[in-house]
A = this chain, B = another copy of it.
Amino acid sequence: MSKVLIIGAGGVGGVVTHKCAMAKGVITEITLASRTEAKCRAIAEQIPDFPVKTAKVDADNVPELIALIKAEKPQLVINVALPYQDLTIMDACLATGVDYLDTANYEPLDTAKFEYSWQWAYEERFKEAGLMALLGSGFDPGVTNVFTALAAKKYLDEVQEIDIIDANAGNHGQPFATNFNPEINIREVTAPCRHWENGQWVETAPLGTKRSFDFPEGIGPMNIYRMYHEEMESLVKHIPTIKKAQFWMTFSDNYLKHLEVLQNVGMTRIDEVEYNGQKIVPLQFLKAVLPDPGSLGPLTKGRTCIGVVAKGLKDGKKKQVYIYNICDHEACYKEVKSQAISYTTGVPAVVGAVMMLSGKWHKPGVWNMEQFDPEPFLETLSTMGLPFEVVDGGDWLELT
């Protein structure tokens, strides 16, 4: 008999709610809260066979969060709100004695700075309170960390290099739209690139390194661009044999053209500009005119392919393993009314919750995904809609 409180009613919040309702063996009560309760109610109405309770909460406001958690008494808070709100929700969990899970690391509103430092600083407080915080239980970060842990446990004696490769081979048919919150998406892709090499971060121009990767199962070759992504920070800390870590994402020429222009004209700025006596952040205003990613669900066709190529030593010999998942946008929409981008983030959040609530993964403190046994997680993930494939050996990948 476990109760979860889900905070955030965007695309991912919808998937998490649907999937929690399907995990009846572990999760017996659900409250879904967000700044706009109507969005929660719309999701609850999609799930007639499970009584999802809804609530209104401002996730920037710690006293409001504490009052909600005290009223609802969940065993676990699943945070799928905005990354700006991770710390307020962690504070509220500490104040009320409840476990915490999220899918993306904390990011201050005024700088596009992706670091675990702020959340890792909660380690002692969670440990002393006997509470657990599981960080980054989405797909990337999340499943990519678990894939790397699986490579280290089962396929390699020593993981030395990883390339995390994320393809959205889908198409929403719009001239320009982001697949998730445009503000978060554009902050991420316009940030300088960093990758890990020989014990340090190497900074290069945003999307300045372009390669081609031949994706499996008929997706074929696509252009991929190197960028910073948060799971590299925890992976190189927790798996210190990793000498080189890179993250790659596909972008279409059309997406990049739009991004270039929006940057040129200043619409991706995250500082405030004066407008008619008010202060407005251009990127936040841009979000207001771009298509709501939620509206793309019924329009998006094609597949995503996200995986990890891990290289290292096995029995003293060089060896490579590629572990990936392929997910179909239309199948996701049919199942939970969201496309694959939200689906691949939301399902691992529920699997992480199931790991914590079932006790398979449960230790006081602040944890990243690769610090636990990957196999029970991946087993549950496969049964909940995200199976994975392993290419053990094969053509050696050299991206840089």
Contact = CB atoms under 8 A, between A and B. Distances in A.
Contacts of A273: 288-289
Interface string A246-275: 000000000001100110111101000111
B258 A264 contact: yes
Interface string A268-285: 010001110010101011
The 3 residue pairs across chains A and B that have the minimum distance between CB atoms: A175-B264, A261-B261, A266-B289
Contacts of A290: 265-266
Given A275-B280, A280-B275, A286 B267 contact: yes
Interface residues of A, number: 23
A176 interface: yes
Nearest to A261: B261
Interface of A: 175-176, 257-258, 261-262, 264-267, 269, 273-275, 278, 280, 282, 284-286, 288-290
Given A257-B257, A280-B275, A265 B285 contact: no
A265 B274 contact: no
A288 B265 CA distance: 10
Contacts of A274: 288
Contacts of A267: 265, 267, 286, 289
Given A258-B261, A261-B262, A264-B258, A269 B288 contact: no
Contacts of A280: 275, 280, 285, 288
A33 to B, nearest CB: 21
A265 to B, nearest CB: 5
Which residue, A261, A275, A284, A288, has most C-beta atoms of chain B within 10 A? A261
Contacts of A257: 257, 261
Contacts of A265: 175-176, 258, 262, 267, 286, 289-290
